[in-house]
Amino acid sequence: MKKTNRIFASLLLLASSGIALAQADKPAAHRPASQVADEWITHSETQLVAVVDAMPADKYSFAPTSGEFRGVRNFAKQVKHVAAVNYLCAAGILGERAPADAADERGPDSARTKAEIVKYLKDSFAYLHKAAATIDDKNVFEPISSPFGKGTQTRIGLAAAALAHSSNHYGQMVEYLRMNGIAPPASQ
């Protein structure tokens, strides 16, 4: 996980640098790490919330069952899992204790309806935005305790982990939409 986070963090920084350099004739202005991380979080949030909103409430219990899909999370559990990991990463960045219902990466059992699950996801992104706002040029690569067990992590590494994880599940959720005859919002 650490190697993946470092690679993703490097790509995140390179991409943001490339965007700044691509702006024609004016010199690239310094952009704080918090701003870059927040923009990427917003992008991930926009994509994921659109997919989550597109799935009808009566399909939140959908999970493929044939082939190699046996035992996978249903749609609702996918969403709550993404949100729980967002909470864990944000808490790690902030040096706070993660909410108890996020510790097992499953999210709260009490969130059962589409509205409750969407709220949990949106709240997790709000917490991730709050955490990203604390990342600065001095602490971006500072070692901190990993919220995923022993060892250390960096703030940008945890932000990158949340984004990579979210993207992974975004792809799975898109497939769930398509299996239910729903075109993902990004493809329309």
pTM for the model stands at: 0.85
Can you give the pLDDT at residue 10?
Answer: 52
Q: What percent of the chain has pLDDT over 70?
A: 86
Q: Among candidates 17, 7, 23, 51, which has minimal Cα distance to 167? A: 51
Q: Mapping DSSP to helix (H, G, I), strand (E, B) and coil, where does residue 27 land? A: coil
Mean per-residue pLDDT of the chain: 89
Is the confidence at residue 23, as pLDDT, over 90? no
Is the confidence at residue 76, as pLDDT, over 90? yes
| 188 or 74: which leads in pLDDT | 74
21-30, 94-103, 120-129, range with greatest mean pLDDT:
120-129
Can you give the pLDDT at residue 26?
Answer: 67
Q: Among candidates 167, 129, 136, which has minimal Cα distance to 154? A: 136
**Poorest-pLDDT segment among 5-9, 22-26, 82-86:** 5-9
- Per DSSP, the residues of 79-138 read HHHHHHHHHHHHHHHHT-PPPGGGTTSS--TT--SHHHHHHHHHHHHHHHHHHHTT--TT
Can you give the pLDDT at residue 21?
Answer: 47
- Separation of CA 78 from chain center: 12
Asked whether 90 and 156 are in contact (CB, 8 A), the reply is no
Using pLDDT thresholds of 50, 70 and 90, give the confidence band for residue 7. Answer: low
Mean pLDDT confidence for 90-117: 95
Q: What residues are paired with 145 via a beta bridge?
A: 152
Mean pLDDT confidence for 29-33: 89
Q: What whole-number distance in Å separates Cα of residue 138 and Cα of residue 148?
A: 23
Mean pLDDT confidence for 156-164: 96
pLDDT one-digit tens code per residue, 77-91 = 999 999 999 999 999
Is the confidence at residue 50, as pLDDT, over 80? yes
Query: Which residues, 6 or more positions from 152, have their beta carbon under 8 angstroms from its beta carbon?
Result: 143, 144, 145, 146
As a residue count, the chain comes to: 188
Encoded amino acid at 68, one letter: E
Mean pLDDT confidence for 53-67: 94
Can you give the pLDDT at residue 20?
Answer: 47
Query: Which residues, 6 or more positions from 137, have their beta carbon under 8 angstroms from its beta carbon?
Result: 32, 33
